[in-house]
Amino acid sequence: MLIKFLSDAISNLEELIKISNLDMQDIKEANHDAIFQRLESKNNAILMFDRNKDLARDAMLKLSKENPNKSIEEILNPEALMLIDKMRDGLKTLREINKNYAKSVVAVYEFYNSLLENIIPSQRDGYSNKLYSKVDLLRIEA
């Protein structure tokens, strides 16, 4: 069962990597609708990955309890160890993709905020709160 759980988790991870790569392409092209359309399938893939990862972890804990005097490397067969390494590599890949995606999201956020500031003047109320006066909004419409 451990092999099945690990294989399923890797499949979920590969799906997440595929979706995240598509999100990266679409944010560069400002195709936000496509990103939002994939959101549900991405969330489902995340849930399935977590479920399969937890099942694999539980199976390894059970094996560990059945063989308390052995290390996990001695307990698991070579295929399971290879799948764990593959999952670790996939997680590293997904982390890099998500890090780059986050940078793009911040850049888009900053762009829209600066655009808004240029179009609608605001006043600061403290460190982070911005106040838009009705006069400024009327001035924009006029």
pLDDT in tens, 22-35: 999 999 898 989 99
Taking domain 2-109, whether its CATH number is 1.20.58 is answered by yes
Cα–Cα distance for residue pair 20/9, rounded to 1 Å = 16
For residue 120 the two structure tokens come to: 């609608």
Rounded to 5 degrees, φ, ψ at 77 are -80, 165
With a CB cutoff of 8 Å and minimum separation 6, the contacts of 123 are 130, 131, 133
Summarised one tens digit per residue, pLDDT across range 60-104 is 999 999 999 999 889 999 999 999 999 999 999 999 999 999 999
**pLDDT above 90: residue 120:** no
**pLDDT above 60: residue 121:** yes
**pLDDT above 90: residue 130:** no
Mean pLDDT of 105-120: 81
Nearest of 44, 48, 43, 55 to residue 4 by alpha carbon: 55
